[in-house]
Amino acid sequence: MKLKTLSLLLAGALASVTVHSAGVSDAMIANDAQSTNDVLSWGLGTQGQRFSALKTINTGNVSKLVPAWSFSFGGEKQRGQESQPLIHNGKMFVTGSYSRIYAIDLKTGAKLWKYEHRLPEGIMPCCDVINRGAALYDNLVIFATLDAQLIALDQNTGDVVWKEKIDEYSAGYSASAAPLIAGGLLLTGVSGGEFGAIGRVEARNPKTGDLVWTRPVVEGHMGYTYDKDGNKKENGVSGTTGATWPGDLWKTGGATTWLGGTYDAKTGLAYFGTGNPAPWNSHVRKGDNLFSCSTVAIDIKTGKIKWHYQGTPNDSWDFDGANEFVTFDMDGKRVGAKADRNGFFYVNDASTGKLLNAFPFVKKITWATGIDLQTGRPKFVADNRPGDPSQAKAGENKGKTVLAAPAFLGAKNQMPMAYSPQTGLFYVPSNEWEMDIWNEPISYKRGAAYLGAGFTIKPVFNDYIGSLRAMDPKTGKMVWEIKNNAPLWGGVLTTAGNLVFWGTPEGYLKAADAKTGKELWKFQTGSGVVAPPVTWNEGGEQYIAVVSGWGGAVPLWGGEVAKKVNFLEQGGSVWVFKLPK
Ligand code: CA
Ligand code: CA
């Protein structure tokens, strides 16, 4: 009995040693969604639910929230700030535009170190010089850069520990997603779908940056595994070469994994959304063009695709299906949900990919009348596909223009939604907009835009574009919404305090009642918020943080909408809030 007590005490002492050491372990990452004193992953847990069990701040007191500190990213470089901060060991790690990263003292808001990546001339990010955040592993903080590299820095000093090239920026590759760490692997995607880059997922040893496997998500490309000396071995072709792509188009097929992925330990699968097939002109690539505009589930142990679900086969509207796949429990089953850029909200079995439910989460969708739950395929509206430029009338160099909704910037874009197991609702930052879109002739040229399309984005309604919507994944009902004049472009956080937090381009961080949608608090951050908030507990106090800095794809690609919001000012800072003592 005594011996047992002693061994239990020893085990306890060892456990507490582990807890207090600075290194981030696999166990800590696996437990990230439950541990409220840190934020170790993009999504507050690898499932990406963005739910915190904290309720110190709740519907009764959120109106009293005040700033604790604010930190400026400084310099002359501003533009879009889409980063989610990480919290660990008394420090905040936050990335900024132009591939910068900062470590900040959590108590004081003072800068501990910064790293500014030296970017070459000629990088080709499609959608502003943004970054969405870092990953933590052991004593490292790891992030991706606009010239398609991965950088691992010492958390304490900011010194570079390893650096690896993902691909050639001169061919249009870039990287801006937060890396995902799951099962001891560093999982990353690529950006560059507007340049004919090839979407893929790579697994690396997070301590060294060495490749473990690669898995292309354009049908026809070979996957590889790597031994510890870096020798590669074939690991099977993704899909079947030539099955869903005509000719050689799969060789420059897009489907980029630009938003990164999520992971569920229960299924052992990593879920990556894939972007548009390239080029945008669908008439030249008849077929489904797998695995574009899909959710692709990869077994992280084998590096093979377990299942895929395609939202927009033979996409003609740039409906990147890159949106995050968030797993949760519904009716005793592990399922996953995705609010797709194409306007439909999908619920799939997380283990098999079987479609369980699909419904619209925006009011205007013109390209399909619905989703067939038996086949999983959209019911296309043939007339809403932009016309074939090869059929253009004499003297014209483009196909028929159509007015299509949603606009290609999506019913939802990069801004991640949140799921509350308490309310059973998803909180979806959505936008109502449409576009004139037409196709033009195009051929692939390395490092050049590869669209074959022209477009103008317009608002659908006069009084709002953005809307934060509480969606019931079972019924497909919108339980409440809060409209916003400008398009929403930041992510969402929900908490056990029955709260939802989200930011607006007009500069506000806001909080609402998660059940009713009643707005309870807002704070003006000084520039537009296009990033997801986080929360954590430190010494019994609950903190909320969000990055502020207007930019991203809307000012660059937004057509008439961009003109409507061109009064908004750029910035670059992180804000931290708490209740007064
Ligand atoms: Ca945590
Ligand atoms: Ca795209």
Percentage of the chain modeled with pLDDT above 70? 96
Distance 291 CA to ligand 2 centre (A): 14
Helices (H) and strands (E) in the chain, counts: 4, 40
Taking the C-alpha atoms of residue 427 and residue 197, their distance in angstroms, rounded to an integer, is 32
Residue 430 contacts residue 361 (beta carbons within 8 Å): yes
CA angle at 425 for the pair 419 and 429, rounded to the nearest 5°: 65
CA angle at 388 for the pair 383 and 390, rounded to the nearest 5°: 155
Given a cut of 50, is residue 18 above it in pLDDT? no
Task: Determine how many CB atoms are found less than 10 A away from the CB of residue 217.
Answer: 31
Of the candidates 503, 538, 468, which has an alpha carbon nearest to the alpha carbon of residue 84? Answer: 503
Amino acid at 203: A
Distance 36 CA to ligand 1 centre (A): 5
Instruction: Fill in the DSSP letter of residue 197.
Output: P
Given a cut of 50, is residue 19 above it in pLDDT? no
Distance 181 CA to ligand 2 centre (A): 25
Place 16 in a pLDDT band, splitting at 50, 70 and 90. Answer: very low
Q: Which one has a higher pLDDT value, 350 or 16?
A: 350
Given a cut of 90, is residue 7 above it in pLDDT? no
Place 315 in a pLDDT band, splitting at 50, 70 and 90. Answer: very high
Q: What is the pLDDT of residues 321-343, one digit of tens each?
A: 999 999 999 999 999 999 999 99
* Active site (catalytic) residues: 318
Q: Which two tokens stand for residue 237?
A: 């072709």
Is the bond preceding 179 in cis, omega lying within 30 degrees of 0? no
Q: The tokens 């932009």 sit on which residue?
A: 386
Distance 399 CA to ligand 2 centre (A): 20
Given a cut of 80, is residue 2 above it in pLDDT? no
Q: 3-class SS at 210?
A: coil
Q: Which two tokens stand for residue 382?
A: 């043939």
pLDDT at residue 13, rounded to an integer: 46
Query: What mean pLDDT do residues 497-501 have?
Result: 99
Distance 489 CA to ligand 2 centre (A): 16
Q: Which two tokens stand for residue 546?
A: 């969000």
Taking the C-alpha atoms of residue 232 and residue 19, their distance in angstroms, rounded to an integer, is 37
Percentage of the chain modeled with pLDDT above 90? 94
Q: How far is CA 272 from CA 146, 201, 417, 433, in A?
A: 20, 8, 15, 25
Residues with Cβ within 8 Å of 12's Cβ and at least 6 positions away in sequence, in order, are none
Which ligand has its closest atom nearest to the C-alpha of 534? 1
Taking the C-alpha atoms of residue 294 and residue 338, their distance in angstroms, rounded to an integer, is 10
Distance 34 CA to ligand 2 centre (A): 34
Which ligand has its closest atom nearest to the C-alpha of 258? 2
Residue 512 contacts residue 495 (beta carbons within 8 Å): no
Task: Determine how many CB atoms are found less than 10 A away from the CB of residue 16.
Answer: 10
Query: What mean pLDDT do residues 277-286 have?
Result: 97
Q: Which residues of 329-348 are buried (b: 16+ CB within 10 A; e: fewer)?
A: ebeeeebbbbbbbbbbbbbb
Of the candidates 224, 175, 234, 174, which has an alpha carbon nearest to the alpha carbon of residue 204? Answer: 224
Range of lowest pLDDT (14-18, 67-71, 320-324, 538-542):
14-18
Which ligand has its closest atom nearest to the C-alpha of 50? 1
Is the bond preceding 195 in cis, omega lying within 30 degrees of 0? no
Which ligand has its closest atom nearest to the C-alpha of 318? 2
Residue 283 contacts residue 390 (beta carbons within 8 Å): yes
CA angle at 322 for the pair 483 and 304, rounded to the nearest 5°: 150
Continuous segment of H or E residues that includes residue 15 = helix 2-20
Dihedral through CA 410, CA 177, CA 295, CA 298, nearest 10? Answer: 180
Length of the chain: 581
Which ligand has its closest atom nearest to the C-alpha of 317? 2
pLDDT at residue 17, rounded to an integer: 43
pLDDT at residue 394, rounded to an integer: 83
Q: 3-class SS at 187?
A: strand
Place 354 in a pLDDT band, splitting at 50, 70 and 90. Answer: very high
Residue 366 contacts residue 403 (beta carbons within 8 Å): yes
Task: Determine how many CB atoms are found less than 10 A away from the CB of residue 122.
Answer: 9
Residue 176 contacts residue 126 (beta carbons within 8 Å): no
Distance 276 CA to ligand 2 centre (A): 5
Taking the C-alpha atoms of residue 227 and residue 212, their distance in angstroms, rounded to an integer, is 7
Q: 3-class SS at 296?
A: strand
Q: How far is CA 73 from CA 97, 520, 567, in A?
A: 9, 29, 22
Place 14 in a pLDDT band, splitting at 50, 70 and 90. Answer: very low
pLDDT at residue 110, rounded to an integer: 98
Name which CATH class applies to 26-31+39-114+131-578: mainly beta
Distance 470 CA to ligand 1 centre (A): 24
| Three-state SS letters, 422-485 | CCCEEEEEEECEEEEEEECCCCCCCCCCCCCEEEEEEECCCCCCEEEEEECCCCCCEEEEEEEC
Given a cut of 60, is residue 473 above it in pLDDT? yes
Query: What mean pLDDT do residues 349-369 have?
Result: 98
Task: Determine how many CB atoms are found less than 10 A away from the CB of residue 17.
Answer: 9
The rounded Cα 297 to chain-centroid distance in angstroms is 16
Taking the C-alpha atoms of residue 22 and residue 89, their distance in angstroms, rounded to an integer, is 6
DSSP character string of 42-71: TTSSTT---EE---SS-TTTGGG-EEEEEE
The rounded Cα 259 to chain-centroid distance in angstroms is 4
pLDDT at residue 396, rounded to an integer: 87
Given a cut of 90, is residue 77 above it in pLDDT? no
Q: What is the pLDDT of residues 133-166, one digit of tens each?
A: 999 999 999 999 999 999 999 999 999 999 999 9
pLDDT at residue 173, rounded to an integer: 98
DSSP character string of 314-335: T-SS---B-S--EEEEETTEEE
pLDDT at residue 445, rounded to an integer: 97
Q: Which one has a higher pLDDT value, 216 or 6?
A: 216
Given a cut of 90, is residue 412 above it in pLDDT? yes
* Neighbouring C-alpha atoms within 13 Å toward the C-beta of 485: 10
Strands 222-226 and 232-237: antiparallel
Is the bond preceding 406 in cis, omega lying within 30 degrees of 0? yes
Query: What residues does each domain of the chain span?
Result: 26-31+39-114+131-578
What residues pair up with 113 in beta bridges, in sequence order? 103
Distance 138 CA to ligand 1 centre (A): 15
Given a cut of 80, is residue 418 above it in pLDDT? yes
Distance 240 CA to ligand 1 centre (A): 40
Q: What is the pLDDT of residues 178-209, one digit of tens each?
A: 999 999 999 999 999 999 999 999 999 999 99
CA angle at 168 for the pair 185 and 149, rounded to the nearest 5°: 40
Place 6 in a pLDDT band, splitting at 50, 70 and 90. Answer: very low
Place 21 in a pLDDT band, splitting at 50, 70 and 90. Answer: low
Which ligand has its closest atom nearest to the C-alpha of 315? 2
Mean pLDDT of the chain: 95
Q: Which two tokens stand for residue 348?
A: 């799939």
Q: Could you tell me the pTM of the whole model? A: 0.96
Distance 194 CA to ligand 2 centre (A): 6
Given a cut of 60, is residue 1 above it in pLDDT? no
Q: What is the pLDDT of residues 80-101, one digit of tens each?
A: 999 999 999 999 999 999 999 9
Strands 180-182 and 185-188: antiparallel
Q: Which two tokens stand for residue 6?
A: 């002693």
Residues with Cβ within 8 Å of 522's Cβ and at least 6 positions away in sequence, in order, are 508, 509, 510, 511
